[in-house]
Structures are given as structure tokens and as C-alpha cells.
Amino acid sequence: MDNKVKTIAILTGGGDAPGLNAVIRAVVRTALGRGLAVWGIKNGFGGMVENKMIQLTDESVAGILPRGGTMLGTTNRDNPFSYPQTEAGEIVYKDMSAHALDNLRQAGIEALVVIGGDGTLKIAAEFYQMGLPVVAVPKTIDNDIPDTERTFGFDTAVGVATDALDRLHTTAESHHRVMVLEVMGRYAGWIALHAGLAGGADCILIPEIPFNTESVIAKIKERQLRGRQFSLIVIAEGAYAQGGEISIARIVEGSHEKVRLGGIGEKLARQIEALTGMESRCTVLGHVQRGGTPTAFDRVLSTRYGVAAAQCILEGAFGIMVALQKNQIIRVPIVDIAGKANNVTIDNELLIAGRAIGICFGD
Ligand code: F6P
């Protein structure tokens, strides 16, 4: 063995994404193969505070590769640095990070693999700065983590959204309607951009390009003039009209990121109907994008990430996030990730390709 670590733990945090189980399986198999003991922390960082852990064996990860969700459970609420405690019938938020670290120490856990999105990775970076040897794996359907070209889960979400567009296409065409599909992605337009291109959308509206409703209407009318009596629009949940505001669906107290987006698709559909007279409907795809079996691409990427994370531990390389660049798995410092975002830029090649084939981006 290359270093002294003998016992590690794995934790999944934030919203679930297809491929989580594939990462867990790859870490467990690689680590067990090199003689390490592996524990799974239940339900994200909450399980670290509450000391909820299970030992993981070859048997425990058998058959999980194609399964969606996470066998360890997850949450996008529990932050050990501001953890809810009940005192005299009131909820108060306390720093339980030292207690959480102590739980790991008591169990003999010397290093932690954290699989999560930006909120989870921020907490992982804080623990690393407190001295916990951490290796992170970038997870999210939104693909909004910096320094990696792909997060696992994204490909599956794009596939689901593309399938939805194909299905909406037939209804749009048959009923001469405008069909609007609202997809997830938070403040990044990656899912909308990829699915819109793959599903033949006429308009793709993303948070990075505030849209002009008149441009969208002009596109629909231009199609009508060419005999196309229907249009297909994909809109990211974080998209907003020029001079307008982002649509907030709900506030989730206790979550790292409290704001939940949603509602812009329905607003746009109502406006289109009023301004064109064409029947317009909105479909909100929601959590369907996150659930179910990962695509082959996500299974492969998750496996590569899991093996690479275990390899970091074996080599004693900590404070690292494994990442994908130019189809190679690389290592980036986890502290570099905090506070940065990965958004669609105006010179993005897919955006330029979309414009070349006549897609309207609302500007
Ligand atoms: O980050 C993944 C994601 O699915 C976003 O696309 C979406 O905005 C958010 O999580 C939804 O969170 P929740 O599951 O808490 O509603």
C-alpha cells in the first residue's frame, strides 16, 4: 500500500443524481481491492453529525451500478457548521463540525470521499481546512461545477429532457400549439442548451441570456409564415426576461441554498398565447430529470471518478476534486472550487452552432 490510510468513509450530499451508486461501487471495489476498510455515512453530512454509518462490503455494492438515487441516502439540508438542534422547544443552529469529526475519529476513519454538488463541496473544503483528508467527486445534473467539463448525472438529465422534447414535438405538431418545456439547471443553462439542440427546439432560453419576449414571439411568427403551425421551446428554470426577475418556486429553510427555482415556463406560455393567439402549454419536467437509471456515459464517468477518488486516497493526495478535462480524469484543488460557477458563455460552441441552424436564444 502507498500510504498509511487503512479505513475510509464515503458520503453522498445534496440532491440525488444518476450515477451516485456507480461512484460508490467504484470507490468501494477499488479500496477493498487494496485492503482498505470502507464505511458509508448515511444521509449526507447529517449522518456524520448523528454518527450513522454502515460498513460497506463487496456484497453491499452488488447490483447497484444501474440504480438511480443513492444507497447511502442524501439531503440538501444538513450543514454540520450550522446544524439544527432543539433547545427548549426551539430550533437553534449550532456548529457541530468538531463533533462530526470526532465521530469519524472514534470509528477509525482516516479519510473521506465526498460525492456532491457545490453546497456539499463547500462543506467538504471546510472540513479539509480543519485537517480532514478529503477527496471530492463532482455530482449534479446541472453541470455547474467549475474546473470540470462534466459532472456525472448531467448526461442522463439531458437524455430525459431530450426524450420529453421528442414527445412534446408530436403534440405540438398535431395540435398546432406552442409547447414550452421547463427544465432544471438552477442558474446554469447547460441542460436546456444540450437538450434543446438534441431535441430540435426552436427557442432555447437560458439564465445566461436574459430573453426578450418579442424575439421569441418573432421566431414563432416567422415559423408560422413558413407554414410551421407549431413551435417547441425549452426554457431553463433559471431563465428570466430582460428587465424581469428570476422565478422563485419556494424557499427551503435549512438548505445550503434556500432558493428553489420554477414557474418561468408557465409565465412564458401564458404570454405567448396572449400575444400570438396560439394555444400554448407548459410542461415542467422537474425531478424526473434526476431519477432513474443512469445512461451508459454516466455509468462510465461515475466509475472513472470513483476509481480516481480511491486512487487519490491510496496515494495520499487530499484536498482534491477529481474532474474531467479533455476526456482525461484530472485532479483539482477543492479550495479552488468554492465560490466559482460554471456557466454557459456567449462564445460557447454549442450556442454558436445553435444560432447557425436558426435557433432563437431570446436575444
Ligand atoms: O441541483 C440539482 C437540482 O435538481 C436543480 O436542478 C434544482 O434547481 C434543484 O436541484 C431542486 O432541488 P430540490 O430537489 O430540493 O427541489
CA distances from 142 to 10, 314, 356 (A): 22, 30, 25
Among the atoms of ligand 1, which is closest to the Cα of residue 252?
15
Cell 400575444, located at residue = 275
For the ranges 71-80, 162-171, 193-202, the lowest mean pLDDT is seen at 71-80
**Percent of the chain predicted with pLDDT > 70:** 99
Among the atoms of ligand 1, which is closest to the Cα of residue 290?
4
pLDDT of 222 above 70 = yes
Cell 451516485, located at residue = 20
Name the pairing type of β-strands 280-284 and 248-251. unpaired
Instruction: Please tell me the distance between residue 44's alpha carbon and the centre of ligand 1 in angstroms.
Output: 16
Ligand 1 pocket, CB under 6 A: 15, 76, 117, 140-142, 184-186, 237, 260-261, 290
Instruction: Please tell me the distance between residue 184's alpha carbon and the centre of ligand 1 in angstroms.
Output: 7
- Tell which one of 70, 156, 251, 290 to mutate to probe ligand 1, the residue whose CB is within 8 A of the most ligand atoms: 290
| Catalytic site includes residue 142 | yes
Instruction: Please tell me the distance between residue 244's alpha carbon and the centre of ligand 1 in angstroms.
Output: 22
Name the pairing type of β-strands 328-333 and 320-325. antiparallel
Give the pLDDT confidence score for residue 1 in this predicted structure: 44
pLDDT band, very low/low/confident/very high, at 55 (cuts 50, 70, 90): very high
- Residue 331 phi/psi, 5° resolution? -120, 130
CA distances from 263 to 179, 224, 236, 240 (A): 15, 26, 10, 10
- Residue-wise DSSP of 230-253: -EEEEEETT--BTTS-PPEEEE-T
Among the atoms of ligand 1, which is closest to the Cα of residue 289?
4
Cell 461515475, located at residue = 302
Mean pLDDT over 319-338 rounds to 95
Instruction: Identify whether the C-beta of residue 123 lies closer than 8 Å to the C-beta of residue 115.
Output: no
Mean pLDDT over 283-296 rounds to 97
- Residue-wise DSSP of 298-336: HHHHHHHHHHHHHHHHHHT--SEEEEEETTEEEEEEGGG
Instruction: Choose between 253 and 122: higher pLDDT.
Output: 122
Give the pLDDT confidence score for residue 224 in this predicted structure: 96
The catalytic position among 78, 142, 202, 298 is 142
Which residues make beta-bridge pairs with 142?
A: none
With CA atoms as reference, report the closest residue to 272 among 202, 177, 167, 201. 177
Instruction: Identify whether the C-beta of residue 184 lies closer than 8 Å to the C-beta of residue 157.
Output: yes
Instruction: Please tell me the distance between residue 280's alpha carbon and the centre of ligand 1 in angstroms.
Output: 26
Mean pLDDT over 281-310 rounds to 98
Instruction: Please tell me the distance between residue 151's alpha carbon and the centre of ligand 1 in angstroms.
Output: 15
- CA 145, 149, 152, 153 dihedral sign is positive
For the ranges 145-154, 195-204, 232-241, 251-260, the lowest mean pLDDT is seen at 251-260
With CA atoms as reference, report the closest residue to 1 among 311, 308, 307. 311
pTM of the full structure: 0.97
Among the atoms of ligand 1, which is closest to the Cα of residue 17?
2
Residues 53 and 322: their CA atoms lie apart, in Å, by: 24
Among the atoms of ligand 1, which is closest to the Cα of residue 184?
6
Question: Closest Cα to atom 11, ligand 1: which residue?
Answer: 260
pLDDT band, very low/low/confident/very high, at 2 (cuts 50, 70, 90): very low
Instruction: Please tell me the distance between residue 275's alpha carbon and the centre of ligand 1 in angstroms.
Output: 31
For the chain, the average pLDDT equals 96
pLDDT of 96 above 70 = yes
pLDDT band, very low/low/confident/very high, at 3 (cuts 50, 70, 90): low
Mean pLDDT over 253-259 rounds to 86
For 272, the grid coordinates are: 405567448
pLDDT in tens, 58-77: 999 999 999 999 999 999 88
Instruction: Please tell me the distance between residue 258's alpha carbon and the centre of ligand 1 in angstroms.
Output: 10
Among the atoms of ligand 1, which is closest to the Cα of residue 237?
8
Question: Closest Cα to atom 14, ligand 1: which residue?
Answer: 15
For 313, the grid coordinates are: 486516497
For 118, the grid coordinates are: 457545490
